Amino acid sequence: FTRQDSSMLNMLAQADCLVVRPPNAPALAAGLRVPVIPLPGGLGRA
């Protein structure tokens, strides 16, 4: 993201998982499996 402000928290509040990637990792092709950390509950499951 090119900016950091409190309005960006809305996207995180709607997430149902976090993708686990090393810092500065190169982009991956769409559709590849990656490790995730599930986030139970939250707005993303409404």
Tens digits of residue pLDDT in 9-40 = 887 788 888 999 999 999 999 999 999 999 88
Number of domains in the chain: 1
Q: Which residues of 7-17 are buried (b: 16+ CB within 10 A; e: fewer)?
A: eeeeeeeeeee
Look-up of token digits 């559709």: 31
pTM passes above 0.95? no
- Residue 1 lies inside a defined structural domain of this protein: no
- Residue 27 lies inside a defined structural domain of this protein: yes
The residue segments making up the domain with residue 24 are 6-45
- Residue 30 lies inside a defined structural domain of this protein: yes
Among 20, 12, 15, 16, which residue's Cα sits nearest to residue 36? 20
